[in-house]
Amino acid sequence: MTQTRIRTALMDGAIKVVARDGLDKLTTRSIANECDLHDAYIYRYFIDKEDLLKRTFLREDKILNDKILVRFDELNGTAEKSFKEILKAVLMPIWEHLMENEDICKFYVRYYYSVHFERDALEDFKEDNKRLRRVFKGILPEGSDAEMIFQYNMDTMLHLAMKVTTGEIEKTPDIDERVFKLLHSVTTVFLGIGKQ
């Protein structure tokens, strides 16, 4: 196995273990066992378990950001779009990414709301998300509280995604549209711009 493959396997193993068992039960041994590797490999490629978790989260967050920015860039080159279409282009890649893989969704949400995120990854996360937040701010009316609106939408999607992946909310064929309808409705009410 190449170094890149081992690193990727360890990150993917961490995702699977966190998704299945949660962060509290995550050990270097459980990650290594998931990958059929010795746990010494973790310390060869990462500083420690926390570094592995942080790098795994930031990798997944970069994939998510890239999807959003690609969709927004594609939309930007087309004819005039409504606020609703632009909002959908910025928000729905987050939802779609979370729905694509239950393990990634569970890992991302559990890590995002953990002490590990705040302690180890928050500053890198903020730096990595600067362009995305500028894009979001740019689609809102001047003077809008873009940070609060973005955070509300993000938290809502993460919460609903976990409910869907755990079966508390049924994953119906129209779930994507229902989620966007909620996000759009709340955003437009908050902005005081009505239906657009």
pLDDT in tens, 114-137: 999 999 999 999 999 998 888 888
Provide the 10 A C-beta neighbour count for residue 27.
Answer: 12
Each of the 196 residues of the chain gets a pLDDT tens digit; together they read: 799 999 999 999 999 999 999 999 999 999 999 999 999 999 999 999 999 999 999 999 999 999 888 888 887 766 678 889 889 988 999 999 999 999 999 999 999 999 999 999 999 999 999 988 888 888 888 889 999 999 999 999 999 999 999 999 999 999 999 999 999 999 999 898 865 4
| Cα Rg of the chain, angstroms | 18
Q: How many C-alpha atoms does 67 have within 13 Å on its Cβ side?
A: 16
CA distance 56 to 52: 6
Tokens for 117, please give them. 């995120």
∠ CA(195), CA(89), CA(140), 5° rounding?
A: 55
Q: Which residues contact 109 (CB under 8 A, 6 or more apart)?
A: 98, 158, 161, 162
CATH of 53-191, one of 1.10.3470, 3.30.1490, 1.10.357, 1.10.1760: 1.10.357
pLDDT in tens, 1-12: 799 999 999 999
